[in-house]
Amino acid sequence: MTNGKGKRVLVAAVSDYQSGFRFGMLPPDVVLEPWGDREDYWTPRQTQVQKQVWRWAEQGREAVVNAAGDDEIVVLHIGDVIHGDHSDHLITDRLHDQYEIAAHALMYWARLPNVKTIRLVKGSRWHSKAGGSAELSVARLVRGLSGKDVRAWHHMLLTIDGVQFDIAHKRAAPGKRAWTSDTELRWYVKSFMLEHLKSGHRPPDVVLAGHYHDRVIVHQHVHTWQGTVDTWGAVVPASSIMLDDYTIAATRAKDHMTSGLLAFEIIDGRLKEVLDFTHTMDIRKEEVLR
Pairing state between β 227-235 and 256-267: unpaired
Q: Which domain holds residue 55?
A: 8-282
Give a yes or no: residue 290 inside a domain: no
What is residue 250's predicted lDDT score, i.e. its pLDDT? 63
- Each residue's pLDDT tens digit, 80-123: 999 998 888 999 999 999 999 999 999 999 999 999 999 999 99
- Which has the closest alpha carbon to 108: 47, 42, 17, 21? 17
- The enclosing domain of 127 has a CATH number of 3.60.21.10
Strand partners of residue 269: none
Greater model confidence, 213 or 140: 140
Q: Contact 272/8 with Cβ under 8 angstroms?
A: no
What is residue 260's predicted lDDT score, i.e. its pLDDT? 95
- Each residue's pLDDT tens digit, 181-232: 889 999 999 999 999 999 999 999 999 999 988 899 999 999 999 899 999 9
Whether pLDDT at 259 is above 70: yes
Give a yes or no: residue 3 inside a domain: no
pLDDT confidence of 3, banded at 50, 70, 90?
very low
- Total number of domains in the chain: 1
Work out the mean pLDDT of the chain and round it to a whole number. Answer: 93
Whether pLDDT at 5 is above 60: no
- Each residue's pLDDT tens digit, 32-70: 999 988 889 999 999 999 999 999 999 999 999 999 999
What is residue 2's predicted lDDT score, i.e. its pLDDT? 46
pLDDT confidence of 252, banded at 50, 70, 90?
low
Phi, psi of 41 (to 5 degrees): -55, 150
Give a yes or no: residue 288 inside a domain: no
The Cα–Cα gap between 173 and 184 comes to 7
The Cα–Cα gap between 41 and 281 comes to 33
What is residue 251's predicted lDDT score, i.e. its pLDDT? 67
Distance in angstroms between the alpha carbons of the first and the last residue of the chain: 61
- Each residue's pLDDT tens digit, 169-179: 999 888 778 88
Give a yes or no: residue 176 inside a domain: yes
What is residue 255's predicted lDDT score, i.e. its pLDDT? 82
Greater model confidence, 284 or 96: 96
Give a yes or no: residue 128 inside a domain: yes
What is residue 37's predicted lDDT score, i.e. its pLDDT? 87
The Cα–Cα gap between 232 and 240 comes to 24
What is residue 249's predicted lDDT score, i.e. its pLDDT? 65
The Cα–Cα gap between 216 and 275 comes to 12
What is residue 1's predicted lDDT score, i.e. its pLDDT? 41
Greater model confidence, 5 or 271: 271
Greater model confidence, 180 or 45: 45
Q: How far is CA 269 from CA 66, 122, 190, 210, in A?
A: 21, 27, 23, 25
